[in-house]
Amino acid sequence: MRLPLIAALLIATTLPALGGPPSSFSAAKRIAEEQIYFDQSSSFYCGCTFDFEAGPDLSSCGYQVRKQPRRASRIEWEHVMPAYDFGRQRQCWQDGGRRNCRSTDPIFRQAEADLVNLVPSVGEVNGDRSNMRYGMVASADAFQYGQCQAKVSFDERTFEPPAAVRGDVARTYWYMRDTYGITISRQQQKLFKAWAKQDPVDEWELLRNQRIAAIQGAGNPHVTGDTSAPAIPPAPVKRRDPIFETARDSYSCATRKTCGAMSSCDEALYHLQQCGNGRLDGDGDGTPCESICR
């Protein structure tokens, strides 16, 4: 179901803040179902009508099962940017993969649970895509899921999304790049620029972003066009963090500082974790200004 633009904006502007970002991937899936997609019934890639309990109606979108009928019969939550892409650049992934990152790295957990990056997908498509890169498929072995315009090439390790969501993919990748410091290749960046131009923001993408902003505190600035603001505001101060209990009054996010301007490691931590100044943590290991935070 697609809402008229005026109605969508009215709903979006009256949404209250709904308790903060999800704390885990499992919580994010529940929140996405109950608070973002509660009135939506179209899967991301294929546009199949679906119910979260009953699964997708494959006949509604002319879907052709490739190999996994059981998985094709359910809706799964897909990371548009795979966990592999936003995890492999972090030390926790090098030390033990996704499971280790979940247990040891709060930034990874935030990225994994980020609602901007989650969409409902036919399970088989989610499984086939896995951590393949997005691109235009040219291989003769490419498989298209019937009338669903998504294509997958296992030879090329490439997944081609339908034209109707290519802009959504591009804007999501840019958000993840800017929020978590993920590197995007020059080739993909060029492709995403073309996709974003060919598939501009539509009514549902705008409303979805407004709903996410009501939950997480901010949405995707590449959807609203306001890329001057940080994608996610600093997380609220946790009372169990003594660093921020003492620094709350003395430190401020009003001035964006470099490592050379920090008076202490405590201040550097404050600016990284509370102000979202990712430049202080050049290697992405969670420790800012390593010359003073040893």
Distance CA 81, CA 156 (A): 18
Q: Tell me if 130 is assigned to some domain.
A: yes
Q: Tell me if 283 is assigned to some domain.
A: yes
- The structure tokens listed for 246 are 């003492």
Residue 294's domain comprises: 234-294
pLDDT higher than 60, residue 198: yes
Q: Are residues 59 and 164 in the same domain?
A: yes
Q: Tell me if 229 is assigned to some domain.
A: no
Question: Residue 254: pLDDT band by 50, 70, 90 thresholds?
Answer: low
Point out the domain boundary residue: 224, 250, 266. Answer: 224
**Does pTM surpass 0.75?**
no
Distance CA 37, CA 77 (A): 11
Phi then psi for residue 159, to 5 deg, are: -120, 130
Q: Are residues 34 and 180 in the same domain?
A: yes
203-215: average pLDDT: 95
SS3 category, 129: helix
Higher per-residue confidence, 8 vs 75: 75
Q: Are residues 149 and 266 in the same domain?
A: no
Q: Are residues 211 and 255 in the same domain?
A: no
Q: Tell me if 281 is assigned to some domain.
A: yes
Q: Are residues 34 and 125 in the same domain?
A: yes
pLDDT higher than 80, residue 234: no
Question: Residue 225: pLDDT band by 50, 70, 90 thresholds?
Answer: confident
Q: Tell me if 209 is assigned to some domain.
A: yes
Q: Are residues 150 and 283 in the same domain?
A: no
pLDDT higher than 50, residue 233: no
Distance CA 144, CA 204 (A): 25
9-30: average pLDDT: 66
Point out the domain boundary residue: 164, 190, 224. Answer: 224
Spatial CB neighbours of 108, under 8 Å, sequence gap ≥ 6: 86, 87, 90, 92, 93, 101, 102
Measured at the CA of 220, the angle between CA 160 and CA 166, to 5 degrees, comes to 15
- The overall average pLDDT reported for the chain is 83
Higher per-residue confidence, 245 vs 18: 18
pLDDT in tens, 151-179: 999 999 999 999 999 999 999 999 999 99
SS3 content of the chain, % helix, strand, coil (to 5): 45, 10, 45
- The structure tokens listed for 193 are 């620029």
pLDDT higher than 80, residue 203: yes
104-129: average pLDDT: 96
129, 83 in Cβ contact below 8 A?
Answer: no
Which one, of 220, 208, 240, 235, lies nearest residue 36 by Cα?
Answer: 208
Point out the domain boundary residue: 165, 191, 224. Answer: 224
By the 10 Å C-beta count (0-12 exposed, 13-18 middle, 19+ buried), 250 is classed as exposed
214-218: average pLDDT: 91
pLDDT higher than 60, residue 18: no
Q: Are residues 33 and 178 in the same domain?
A: yes
Q: Tell me if 197 is assigned to some domain.
A: yes
Domain count, the chain: 2
Q: Are residues 160 and 294 in the same domain?
A: no
1-26: average pLDDT: 54
Q: Are residues 159 and 203 in the same domain?
A: yes
6-22: average pLDDT: 49
Instruction: Report the DSSP pairing between strands 75-79 and 118-122.
Output: antiparallel
Q: Tell me if 192 is assigned to some domain.
A: yes
Q: Are residues 165 and 185 in the same domain?
A: yes
> What own/partner pairs with CB < 8 Å and gap ≥ 24 does 197-202 have?
197/167, 198/163, 198/166, 198/167, 199/163, 199/164, 199/165, 199/166, 199/167, 199/168, 199/170, 200/167, 201/167, 201/171
Q: Are residues 134 and 270 in the same domain?
A: no
Which one, of 43, 33, 37, 53, lies nearest residue 145 by Cα?
Answer: 43
Distance CA 203, CA 12 (A): 11
Q: Tell me if 68 is assigned to some domain.
A: yes
Q: Are residues 20 and 151 in the same domain?
A: yes
Q: What percent of the chain has pLDDT over 70?
A: 79
